[in-house]
Each structure stands twice: as C-alpha cells, then as structure tokens.
Amino acid sequence: MQVGEYGAWGREFPVRYLLVGEDEGGGELVLARSAGVEGLFRDPVPPPREVLTLRGCSPRGRLAEAVGGSGAAAELGDLCVEVGNGERPVQWWTLVDTVVIAHRPDPADPALLDITIGAGVVPDPAFAFGPPRSPTFEVFPNLGDAPGLGRCADVHGLLVTRPTAVTPLHLIGCESAEPLLGTVRRRGRWPRRTELLALDRDGEVMTRRPVVLAVKGSRPSVLGGGLLDVALADTSDRPSRAARAVWEAWYAGRPRERNLWARLDREGREQWLDLTFRGGDLPARDVSGGVHHLDGRYVTDDAALHCALGEALLGPGGYFGREWNAFADCLGGGFGVAPPFTLVWHDAEAARRALAEEHLLPDDGPSYFEAVVARLERSGVTVVLA
C-alpha cells in the first residue's frame, strides 16, 4: 500500500487520517480516509482497585522482604504477572500500585505462601483469546530487566473478564471504501487488525495507533460532500490530551531544530518520543564511528534524556529508544547509528543531578543516568562527560 496515493483528495480541507485494515492475505488496505477524528485524545483512567491472592508463592527479592517485614502494608509499586502455557510466556498483565495486605502459609504446601495483595489490574489484550489451558505464573517488577519476585501456582482473581469502558471514536468527514461501507451497513466489526494512521501536511505517516473497528453508528457528515461521520466503539488505548499539542507541532513535518521538546513537561516529552519512531523509516544501514554531541542542558528527566540522545545521534526528531529496553535494542544496531562511536555529553552534570534519585531498578543501585552511561560504554561507545 502506498500511502501517498491516499493522502490528498481535492477537497478544501486536507486528509488528516487513514483507517487501514489487514486483508485476508495479511496485506494492508485502506478502509477510509478522514478529515478528522474526535475523541482520539483521552487521559487514561486508573484501573479500579481489586484484591488478588498469589497462591502457592515462593517470594524473592522485594516481595520476600515485604512478607517478612513488620506486618504493615508494604508498597511494591507496579508489577507484571507473566502468564505462561507450560512452554513459554504468552500473556503479560500489569498490576498497578501493588500493596501487600496479608500473607499466610499455603494450605497445600506450608513451605509456600498465599499472599493477598491490592492492585489495579491492566489485562493483557491477548486474554481476549482466553487463558492458557494450564497456566503458570511469575511475578516481576514492571520495569527494566529486573529479576523475578517469585513463582506462584495461581493468581486468584486475575484471569477473569473485566468490563471495558467504551468511549466512542468519531471519524469526521470520512470517505469510506467498500469493505468499510459494508461494515457500516451491518454495524459490524472488522475481523482483523486495524490501525489509524495520522498524516502530516505532506501526506506522510506521522504515527500509527491500533484501533478496534467496531461500528456503532454513522450519519451524513457535518462536512457534507457525500462524506460520512462514523462512530466506532473503540476500546484500545489512546494518546493522552498532552499528545494533541505535540501532534500539531509535528503536523508541519519532522522537526528541523533541536531542543523543541525541551519546553514540554515530562508527559509531553513522552508523547514526543512516541512520534520519533516510524517503523517504515528505518535506515537501510547503520553508520559507525565519528563524534556525536549531546546537548545536556535540558535533560531533567529520563524522557528528556532519550529525546536528547536521539537528537545527538540522528538529528532533530531522531529516534534512539523511548525507554530503557528500546534504548538497549538500538545499541544493537538497525536504527541508523551503531557502536563504536564517541558521544560527547555536554552539561552532563545537569542530568546527573536531575536523575540522581531515578533508578533503573526500584532498589538501591546506580542512578538512571549512571546506568545509561554504563550501558553505552559496555556497547562500545566512548562517553565523554563534559
């Protein structure tokens, strides 16, 4: 599919979005193009609190410390429950703001514990296809490459269907291809993967977002011209309201100046990082060697660090990871620049101070700044802190 064929339509207003779907052969086809989308930006709502029990658990690390403590409720932060099928992991559930409420010996094996916790549960989308037949459970901190906190025979209350709040997504001024028109007439659901592509003013893809194409209703568009306004009962994650200003800034095209992200708050910088990655624009080959300069004046949080690092290596709007794991992947090559090279980090003390209390792992250890420098050096980068 060539996006350029669909990025203009001879009307007095531009095409801002394309709705694309997977066809039966696994390819991609354009289902609709649209002048606008209403309801796209929405701040996330914290998941409701639930009580779960880690049954038959052999706790390690911070979880072991929590159950061996004073008896007061122990805060564990965000956790990940990795659900396996006996051969490999297949689902990853997030437990938000986890607190240990109580624990006792497991009735089936007193050497193990039943640990009752409170948390907000974010289901893995793969659960829509059902749980594994004989699931296994392992608990991890929800960040970095942290070691596991324990295996469990079961996480009671986890693998259940939860009601999903639906906020409609409205395609405004929508010109639909026949496959979508059929779905609109039936008020049905597209059976395969669908994505919403946001375009810049040149008709190039700015970013992609997964959507659930379940048609709730349609009407002749308020924009006229034989167009439709289509309401989707979309349940996918959406960008926060902080993303709207960032998307509008990128609508003019990729940034041409450095440090435009510096005026944003941390949430805005995270949204900026989301737009730096365009999978279809990955370079044909990597460049190694040479000296790159990182402007560290505005590195006041981890998101700013990744913004500045991407610009140092690949220019304004450049991508070299959005967070730790993606950054580590980039150091392996395939993203335009690969070690060995020299990185001169100017005003590095600003990042050292700002990130002194941010750690890759939740316990004591190197700060996020120190961990990034060490990871660069282990990968063959010569880091000069100026």
Residue 213 has pLDDT above 90, yes or no: no
The 10s digit of each residue's pLDDT in 361-374 is 655 678 999 999 99
Domain match, 106 and 148 both: yes
Within 10 angstroms of residue 3's Cβ, the number of other Cβ atoms is 18
Per cent of the chain over pLDDT 90 is 67
The 10s digit of each residue's pLDDT in 85-134 is 988 999 999 999 999 999 999 999 999 999 999 999 999 888 877 889 99
Contacts of 227 (CB under 8 A, 6+ apart): 35, 173, 174, 175, 220, 221
**260: number of CA atoms within 13 Å, CB side?**
18
- pLDDT number for residue 143: 66
When pLDDT is averaged across residues 244-268 and rounded to a whole number, the result is 93
Of the CA atoms within 13 Å of residue 44, those in its CB half-sphere come to: 12
Confidence of residue 70 (pLDDT cuts 50, 70, 90): low
Residue that wins the pLDDT comparison between 46 and 350: 350
Q: Decide if pLDDT at 25 tops 70.
A: yes
Domain end (from 100, 131, 156): 156
Residue 149 is assigned to a structural domain of this protein: yes
Q: Could you list the residue range(s) of the whole structural domain that residue 274 is in? A: 258-385
Q: Which amino acid is present at 335?
A: F
Residue 219, in any domain of the structure: yes
Residues 303-339: pLDDT tens digits? 999 999 999 999 999 999 999 999 999 999 999 999 9
pLDDT the model gives residue 28: 86
Count CB neighbours of 163 within 10 A: 6
- Number of domains into which the chain is organized: 3
**Quick one: how far is CA 95 from the chain centroid?**
16
Among candidate residues 192, 214, 242, the one where a domain is terminated: 242
Let me know whether 311 and 347 are in one domain: yes
